[in-house]
Amino acid sequence: MRSLFHKSIVFIIIAGFFTSCADDNDRNYQYFPDMYRPVPYEPYGSYDIFANQQEAKLPVDGSISRGWMPYDYENTPAGREDAKANLKNPLAYTEDNLTEGKALYTVYCAVCHGDKGDGQGTLVQREKILGVPSYDDPGRDITEGSVYHAMYYGLNNMGSYAVQTSIKERWQIDHYVMSLKDKLEGNPERSFQTNTITQENSENLNPAEPADGPSEDQLEGSNDEESQSEE
Ligand code: HEC
């Protein structure tokens, strides 16, 4: 017992000796220093080895984010005319696409444009917004391309839907808008196509799809990147 008491005294003195001189400002002993100081460069770290001392680099010129495709038509009257004449819907006109388009249209567009596309949405009836056209307005003569263009950039009082919707969703809405236009004009209903992508237009859909058609994954989830790269 006595010797144990002595031993502990000696131990305490030795422990005190080691700890008392520690410098509070000094870094303590580190186990596995790699955990604190990683071997690779820190993201956004500053290092002399880089030209501007900045680890974070801009992407190589001309890089395109995965799942995102630049929209080639400009936000100008000329760009609008160009899209109106040349831009085509890459999605097949299927029941699924139309159903999906209708659901999205009801969420995003119907408040102004009305369920029938006649420009008599709730906001118009309550006189909260003016100048919402009917889709069969002959002066506008909307096309697949002009509808997409309007959703992409917005038009005067109408905001852009490039952030809220993915490329595929916009084309689904587009099909539905064109079907509303047909109904308003009293045209016969367009018959459904069976394949998922119309071959000749497939380059309009992003990203370039494999032979067996794009996966859901590729078509969707591109919103964020899109919204950031716009404007
Ligand atoms: C806040 C009300 C509002 C909402 C919501 C809205 N629009 Fe519009 N939209 C307008 C107005 C106002 C115009 C007329 C713009 C102008 O020509 O000055 C318009 C015009 C249009 C045109 C005609 C474009 C042209 O080339 O003349 C189309 C097509 C259209 N909208 C489609 C849509 C679609 C599709 C949605 C849903 C994704 C939508 N709009 C949502 C208010 C709205």
Q: Which of 98, 104, 112, 129 to mutate to test the pocket of ligand 1 (most atoms within 8 A of CB)?
A: 112
Q: Please give the distance, rounded to the nearest whole angstrom, from the Cα atom of residue 29 to the centre of ligand 1.
A: 65
**Phi-psi group of 100: left, alpha or beta (phi > 0 → left; psi -120 to 50 → alpha; rest → beta):** alpha
Pick from 153, 154, 152, 121: which is nearest to 135 by CA? 121
Which amino acid appears at position 205 of this protein? L
Is residue 192 helix, strand or coil? coil
Interatomic CA distance for residues 82 and 74, integer angstroms: 9
Q: Which domains does the chain show, CATH number per domain?
A: 77-197 (1.10.760.10)
Closest protein CA for atom 28 of ligand 1: 147
Contact 114, 227 (CB under 8 A): no
Contact 165, 101 (CB under 8 A): no
Contact 163, 223 (CB under 8 A): yes
pLDDT (tens place) for every residue of the chain, 231 residues total:
568 888 888 888 888 777 766 677 777 777 787 777 778 888 899 999 988 899 998 889 888 888 778 899 999 999 999 999 999 999 999 999 999 999 999 999 999 999 999 999 999 999 999 999 999 999 999 999 999 999 999 999 999 999 999 999 999 999 999 999 999 999 998 999 876 555 445 555 654 444 444 455 555 544 444 444 443
SS3 content of the chain, % helix, strand, coil (to 5): 45, 5, 55
Binding site membership of 91 for ligand 1 (Cβ less than 6 Å): no
